[in-house]
Amino acid sequence: MGFFDRLANIWRGFLSLWVSDIETRNPEAVYEAAIDERVRKHRDLKKAVSGIVYLRNKLSAELETKERELKEVMNQLPVAIEDGEDEVALVLIQKKDELTQAIENLSAELKKVSDQAEDAKAGLLAFQSEIEKLKREKEQMMAAKANAEARIQIQETLDGLSTEADVKALDNVREHIKKLQAEADIGSEIQGDSLDAKLAKIKDKAANSSARAQLAEMKRQMEARRAAAAEGGAVKKTI
């Protein structure tokens, strides 16, 4: 094999791979092309079948005509013999033989063509069924392709979510929640040491101290009044 032959083979190989790649990437277009090709062949086959059917019908019509002519000859022949018309009778006999032979030939030809027509019609129907089957297959395969692509996409998405990524995400959430809890705790812890809290405590102590001073003063005044009253009573008794 020469250099150019090998180069041609390589080119055909690349071309075949390229075509195969296009076909696998466009399966719907491949199905449509196959269906269109079968529809075209179906039209051609239908024309061929119609030609056979036309020939069958033509032979059938010719056979009917010959049989009708033979029937007329068979009706005329006894009359010619009874009338003594031997020459006419001889002509009718010859015509009878010719028609009989023609009918035999037409019958044989008609049967042959009729069988061909039936086979052709059966083939036409089978071809039509094949087209319909291919159309259904196309719909089923396109649905299967869409389903497979969706499953692959889902699987790829799930594969992208690794276990490490899940653990890291959970750790981040846990850490965030713990930080929030610590922030809440530290707020409670420093609340007692804040300036406002100290002022509030002092205010509470001051208010308590003032109340206690007032209470002591009130007790002292009451004690003084009781002492004064007791002293006044003792003076009156002495007088």
Question: What is the DSSP annotation of 175-195?
Answer: HHHHHHHHHHHHHHHHHTTSH
pLDDT confidence of residue 197: 62
- pTM comes to 0.47
Helix (H, G, I), strand (E, B) or coil at 130: helix
Q: Which of 97, 81, 101, 99 is nearest to 89 (CA)?
A: 81
Q: Which two tokens mark 28?
A: 């719907």
Distance CA(161)–CA(168), nearest Å, equals 11
| Cα 96 from Cα 80, distance rounded (Å) | 13
- Phi/psi for 89 (5° steps) reads -65, -40
Q: Report how far residue 142's alpha carbon sits from residue 123's, in angstroms, rounded to the nearest whole number.
A: 28
239 residues of the chain, pLDDT tens digit each: 554 455 455 435 444 443 455 546 677 788 888 888 888 888 888 888 888 889 999 999 999 999 999 999 999 989 888 888 889 889 989 999 999 999 999 999 999 999 988 888 888 888 888 888 888 888 888 888 788 878 888 777 766 655 566 667 777 788 878 877 777 666 555 555 556 666 666 677 766 777 777 878 888 888 888 887 777 666 555 55
DSSP annotation string for 35-100 = HHHHHHHHHHHHHHHHHHHHHHHHHHHHHHHHHHHHHHHHHHHHHHHHTT-HHHHHHHHHHHHHHH
State residue 29's pLDDT score. Answer: 81
- Please give the Cα distance from 200 to 194 (Å, whole number): 10
Structural domains of the chain, with CATH? 3-160 (1.10.287)
User: Helix, strand or coil for residue 239?
Assistant: coil
User: What is the Rg, in whole angstroms, of the alpha carbon atoms belonging to the chain?
Assistant: 60
Token pair, residue 178, equals 């713990």
Burial class from Cβ neighbours inside 10 Å (0-12, 13-18, 19+) for residue 121 reads middle
